[in-house]
Amino acid sequence: MFLRNAWYVAAWKDEVVEGALFARTLLEEPVVLFRQSSGAVAALEDRCRHRFAPLSRGRLEGDRLRCMYHGLVYDASGACVEIPGQDHISARACVRSYPIVERDRYVWIWMGDTALANPDLIPDCHWQDDPAWRCKPGYKHFAADYRLIVDNLLDFSHLSFVHASTLGGSNSMATLRPRIETFDWGLRITRLYPSDVMPPYAAALASYSSPVDRWQIYDWHIAGNVLSMDSGFARAGAGALEGKRPDDAFQFHSIQALTPETASTTHYFWTYPHNFALDDPSVTDMLANGISNAFEEDRVMIMAQQDVLNRSPDRTMFNIGADAAPMQVRARLEQLLAAEAAGEG
Amino acid sequence: MFLRNAWYVAAWKDEVVEGALFARTLLEEPVVLFRQSSGAVAALEDRCRHRFAPLSRGRLEGDRLRCMYHGLVYDASGACVEIPGQDHISARACVRSYPIVERDRYVWIWMGDTALANPDLIPDCHWQDDPAWRCKPGYKHFAADYRLIVDNLLDFSHLSFVHASTLGGSNSMATLRPRIETFDWGLRITRLYPSDVMPPYAAALASYSSPVDRWQIYDWHIAGNVLSMDSGFARAGAGALEGKRPDDAFQFHSIQALTPETASTTHYFWTYPHNFALDDPSVTDMLANGISNAFEEDRVMIMAQQDVLNRSPDRTMFNIGADAAPMQVRARLEQLLAAEAAGEG
Amino acid sequence: MFLRNAWYVAAWKDEVVEGALFARTLLEEPVVLFRQSSGAVAALEDRCRHRFAPLSRGRLEGDRLRCMYHGLVYDASGACVEIPGQDHISARACVRSYPIVERDRYVWIWMGDTALANPDLIPDCHWQDDPAWRCKPGYKHFAADYRLIVDNLLDFSHLSFVHASTLGGSNSMATLRPRIETFDWGLRITRLYPSDVMPPYAAALASYSSPVDRWQIYDWHIAGNVLSMDSGFARAGAGALEGKRPDDAFQFHSIQALTPETASTTHYFWTYPHNFALDDPSVTDMLANGISNAFEEDRVMIMAQQDVLNRSPDRTMFNIGADAAPMQVRARLEQLLAAEAAGEG
């Protein structure tokens, strides 16, 4: 169902505020996050070892967390350090703690085998925390299996239909067959649209108009479901598709991360950093709102798809040419899941 | 659970409007209906063959329907006629289409073996589309197994209790044992009430008062769950019960059709055509509202019954004399379902 | 799951009003209660023997209850005494009736083997119907297994945490290990707090202040889940903990009864009788509201616990010293349930 040996986005950095407890279900496990006096984020199983009361209804006492049902206290490692009225505390009276890395505005969590939690495996998301770029953090909750959203992100042919009036527009998006390169960590998908139409949201920003050269070059990291995408457009013929990005090009570097909440619900964390109009927050707002509206179109469609899927237990899907990338990722994901289940993860 | 080889009411004619897509679940299948340029209604499986997106979120392009997730296009026969970016289209890339007949203001659908879809099997419902009669289409959604509503319609003893203050009133309804005749297509039930009380809703319309002769003669069509009922009342002793309907008789011909939505929910389509006061729409309105209120009494009771039933998995019911007709229909329905399951449908 | 051979609280006396039908689900059975002309309460299975319509949607006709679906009539013993249109009535056409005892403002019901329904087994709850005491009846609905509430009531260490700002306050409640005595009917738990702090709600009432001697001495009746608690506080050192209750002591005798509605929901009936300020209803109100707010704290915590529990099917709990009483009761309850299942109940 889910890869456990992977770094997942647990929260936006700003969601975990000093002195407060933040509860979120991740990979079907209840987790409580809090910031220690050192500033480091701790993550514990949100279930008191004693009687399963949620620790997120507890009380932070310095760097320790007290369950407010019967008063057991845990430290940031999950060890129980106090049981009211009792001197001896068994070492088994602990809750699970999860490795956490805070980086690029994300709080990353490792839900699998702690011994394998190597921070070097975290994908580079620096664009969302870089002074040369601007963005606003986005979050959406999908009542859908995360794999339906993976499919969506790996096949941009849907832009021409789902987002006809927002992101997409041109039919070229639907018919183009992208270049797919395979790496250890996943896929790189390259979609180049020479001499295409300017996207609808951009008309107010650019000093030129259609035709433009558009590009979408995105890395899909299978572990943790992270998309990192270089995209944008420039005056047609100015060399942008050959890697020469002119000064008046409009460049983006979107980060999108999917963390399963349960088998049928997903947390979706995203930004859409841009490297122009850095001093005009209204542009950042306008772009973030536009993207949010577009992702809402995906959300509605994917949740409708999930609903039909739930009601179609005996039906099989039918693959088309546009499915090359999603099918490749699904196949590799299945292999990784099987390896984890076999204890090779 | 459901007979599949039967004509069911899918919709009111006016629900399927030119240029729009109409989605409804029928017999646990998602169906999308639309009107073609010829005026004929098409019905397709509401589930794109590709990734199960609902076609009812798609776009009508002439007589074709485009899925607005990845752009596949289907014609009214369910054949896929376009896959963006792809020349070859497999014949397997199709969705199911359903035979449709539009008649008597109903859109009839056949969800079973297409080869058996003979329009001659559709029960006569002309009264609801006849200039000599007036009615208003009614629709209710029941959170109940359609068979509980079948039971309800086949045993009018409930009128004295469920509808004591609306349709019923006299105790004679509860105690009368109707004449039951058996036909290929179902049952005819004859209930005659000589010299009875006038129904409460009629007091304002008639130039005479109780006693009246009342009658309810109804055909129950097992396939498709269709009731066709000749009912009314006339001055007592004027011969109405012997077939001589006087001019000042009040005559109705109600049509009621139950289409299972799921195993536990049902679409209920009905009219209550009357052949008097043809030029006074307020009478039609008043009667339709009164009937709707009465059917609401059934709906509340049947949904409460379903609720108790769900919570009583180990209990068996107890039959009484009034159950002759519902028990006969249940038994024949079971035979037909078994025959269909055995492939003899 | 539930002991059936036990007296449970079905309702507050005032909930069963003359001329009306009162429906409540108890131990997963639908029950309808009504008051006969003698004043005695009758309790019938809320499910017509015929077609399972709820009798609570029926009509009271004297001491008889008519199902308003098809008109069957039952007497207070559950025997069917009328079937419309039918002379012969089978003795099997009956619904179950339940033994009822009305005592101490409670309507007690016996859902098990009627032959064992001995009213002498009902715990004494006279304090809630005694002129020397004052109280207001309380009711709460918990979306939780009744056993989680049993655990809660048998371990008052939670007062220091769940009720830190209402009932509790002092840490002594959490650390004290109570005296536990075992009886046929259950446990007696004695918790004495010499020279402790006055509870927050009491500050406005007492003419003295902390320190006070506090006590909680409560009997837990396993059959029917009934708590009967002598509690209160007095000026420290005045002998209250040795049984000499001074005139200016504040004494309570709370009654709390848990009746399972379903496997995962519970009815909670309670009072908190006090024997001071008898002529000031505002004190009774203030105390009842305060207790209700405190029980709301339990309710929120226990329902959160149930929610975590539901999501943790493979986890086992961890016992601590404070669990002695709840564990003892759970063990005895399991024995009783096993005996009932084996037919020895």
Q: Tens digit of pLDDT for each residue in C215-249?
A: 999 999 999 999 999 999 999 999 999 989 999 99
What is the C-alpha separation between A12 and A33, in angstroms, rounded?
11
Is there a contact between A306 and A145 (Cβ–Cβ < 8 Å)? yes
For C15-55, write each residue's pLDDT tens digit.
999 999 999 999 999 999 999 999 999 999 999 999 999 99
CB atoms within 10 A of CB C203: 10
Residues B115 and B170 occupy one common structural domain: no
Residues C93 and C146 occupy one common structural domain: no
C216 in a structural domain: yes
Hey, which chains touch A, using 3+ CB pairs under 8 Å? Answer: B, C
List of chain A residues with pLDDT < 70: 168-170, 344-345
What's the token pair of residue A137? 């953090």
Region B245-256 average pLDDT: 95
Helical (H) or strand (E) element with C120: none
- In this predicted structure, the answer to whether residue C345 has a pLDDT above a threshold of 60 is no
Is there a contact between B287 and B274 (Cβ–Cβ < 8 Å)? yes
Residues A312 and A197 occupy one common structural domain: yes
* Domain at B102, CATH number: 2.102.10.10
- At B215, give phi and psi (nearest 5°): -145, 150
- In this predicted structure, the answer to whether residue B345 has a pLDDT above a threshold of 60 is no
Is there a contact between C24 and C262 (Cβ–Cβ < 8 Å)? no
Contact B320 C93 (CB under 8 A): yes
Answer with the one of A71, A98, A119 that is the final residue of a domain.
A119
Residues C77 and C132 occupy one common structural domain: no
Burial (0-12, 13-18, 19+ Cβ within 10 Å), A31: buried
Residues C150 and C205 occupy one common structural domain: yes
Contact C50 B320 (CB under 8 A): yes
Residues B225 and B210 occupy one common structural domain: yes
* Domain at C253, CATH number: 3.90.380.10
Identify the domain containing residue C138 by its residue range. Answer: 125-341
Residues B277 and B175 occupy one common structural domain: yes
Is there a contact between B336 and B116 (Cβ–Cβ < 8 Å)? no
Angle at the Cα of C113 from the Cα atoms of C110 and C115, rounded to 5 degrees: 95
B80 in a structural domain: yes
What is the C-alpha separation between C128 and C147, in angstroms, rounded?
24
Instruction: Indicate the residue of A162, A315, A321 with minimum beta-carbon distance to B69.
Output: A162
Region B284-303 average pLDDT: 95
How high is the pLDDT of residue C100? 98
**pLDDT cut 70: percent of chain C above it:** 99
What is the C-alpha separation between B14 and B271, in angstroms, rounded?
14
> Min CA distance, B19 vs chain C (Å)?
44
**Per-residue burial over B56-85, b = 16 or more CB atoms within 10 Å of its CB, e = otherwise:** bbbebeeebbbbbbbbbbbbbebebeebbb
Higher pLDDT, B206 or C297: C297
Name the residue in chain A with its Cα closest to that of C320.
A50
For C264-293, write each residue's pLDDT tens digit.
999 999 999 999 999 999 999 999 999 999
What is the C-alpha separation between A69 and C157, in angstroms, rounded?
9
How high is the pLDDT of residue B170? 67
Helical (H) or strand (E) element with C52: none
> Min CA distance, B28 vs chain C (Å)?
26
The CA distances from residue A138 to A32, A151, A205, A264, B185, in Å, are: 21, 20, 22, 20, 60
Among B153, B256, B154, B248, smallest CA distance to B205 is for B248
B2 in a structural domain: no
Residues C84 and C131 occupy one common structural domain: no
For B162-195, write each residue's pLDDT tens digit.
888 777 656 777 788 899 999 999 999 999 999 9
pLDDT band at C131 (very low <50, low <70, confident <90, very high): very high
> Min CA distance, C38 vs chain B (Å)?
27
CB atoms within 10 A of CB A248: 12
How high is the pLDDT of residue B63? 97
B239 in a structural domain: yes
3-state secondary structure at position B111: coil
Q: What is the CA radius of gyration of chain A?
A: 22
How many contacts (CB atoms, under 8 Å) link A and B? Answer: 79
How high is the pLDDT of residue A345? 53
C113 in a structural domain: no
Contact A318 B49 (CB under 8 A): yes
C197 in a structural domain: yes
- In this predicted structure, the answer to whether residue C317 has a pLDDT above a threshold of 90 is yes
How high is the pLDDT of residue A168? 64
Q: Where are the beta strands (DSSP E) in C78-199?
A: 80-82, 100-103, 106-110, 138-142, 179-183, 186-196
Contacts of C57 in chain B (CB under 8 A): 300-301, 304
pLDDT band at C252 (very low <50, low <70, confident <90, very high): very high
pLDDT band at C112 (very low <50, low <70, confident <90, very high): very high
- As for how many domains chain C has, the answer is 2
Contact B305 C53 (CB under 8 A): yes
> Min CA distance, A316 vs chain B (Å)?
8
- In this predicted structure, the answer to whether residue C173 has a pLDDT above a threshold of 90 is no
- At A184, give phi and psi (nearest 5°): -50, -45
A2 in a structural domain: no
Residues A110 and A214 occupy one common structural domain: no
What is the C-alpha separation between B163 and B293, in angstroms, rounded?
9
Q: How far is CA B258 from the centre of its chain?
A: 4
- In this predicted structure, the answer to whether residue C69 has a pLDDT above a threshold of 60 is yes
How many contacts (CB atoms, under 8 Å) link A and C? Answer: 79
Among A216, A235, A212, smallest CA distance to A227 is for A216
Residues C87 and C18 occupy one common structural domain: yes
Higher pLDDT, C343 or A180: A180
**Contacts with A188 (C-beta within 8 Å, 6 or more apart), sequence order:** A180, A181, A217, A218, A219, A220
The CA distances from residue A301 to A38, A149, B81, C14, C260, in Å, are: 43, 10, 22, 52, 42
What's the token pair of residue B66? 């485009």
How high is the pLDDT of residue C168? 63
Please tell me the total number of residues recorded for chain A in this structure. 345
Residues A278 and A328 occupy one common structural domain: yes
Cβ under 8 Å to C: A residues 80-99:
83-86, 90, 92-93
- In this predicted structure, the answer to whether residue B113 has a pLDDT above a threshold of 90 is yes
Angle at the Cα of B279 from the Cα atoms of B275 and B285, rounded to 5 degrees: 75
> Min CA distance, B40 vs chain A (Å)?
26
Chain C contact probe: residue of A48, A69, A92 with most C CBs at under 10 A: A69
Q: How close are the terminal C-alpha atoms of chain C, in Å?
A: 14
- In this predicted structure, the answer to whether residue C263 has a pLDDT above a threshold of 60 is yes
What's the token pair of residue A71? 């008063």
Region C110-119 average pLDDT: 97
Classify the C-alpha dihedral A147-A153-A159-A165 as positive or negative: positive
A206 in a structural domain: yes
Question: Which pTM does this prediction carry?
Answer: 0.93
What is the C-alpha separation between B210 and B235, in angstroms, rounded?
8
Contact A67 C161 (CB under 8 A): yes
- In this predicted structure, the answer to whether residue B287 has a pLDDT above a threshold of 80 is yes
> Min CA distance, C29 vs chain B (Å)?
8
What is the C-alpha separation between B91 and B72, in angstroms, rounded?
13
Contacts of A164 in chain B (CB under 8 A): 68
Answer with the one of B119, B149, B180 that is the final residue of a domain.
B119
Answer with the one of B75, B100, B119 that is the final residue of a domain.
B119
Instruction: Indicate the residue of C160, C311, C319 with minimum beta-carbon distance to A30.
Output: C311
- In this predicted structure, the answer to whether residue B236 has a pLDDT above a threshold of 70 is yes
3-state secondary structure at position A298: helix
What is the C-alpha separation between B213 and B248, in angstroms, rounded?
12
For B12-70, write each residue's pLDDT tens digit.
999 999 999 999 999 999 999 999 999 999 999 999 999 999 999 999 999 999 999 99
Residues B168 and B307 occupy one common structural domain: yes
In one letter, which amino acid is A161? F
How high is the pLDDT of residue C132? 96
Report yes or no: A317 at the B interface, CB cutoff 8 Å.
yes
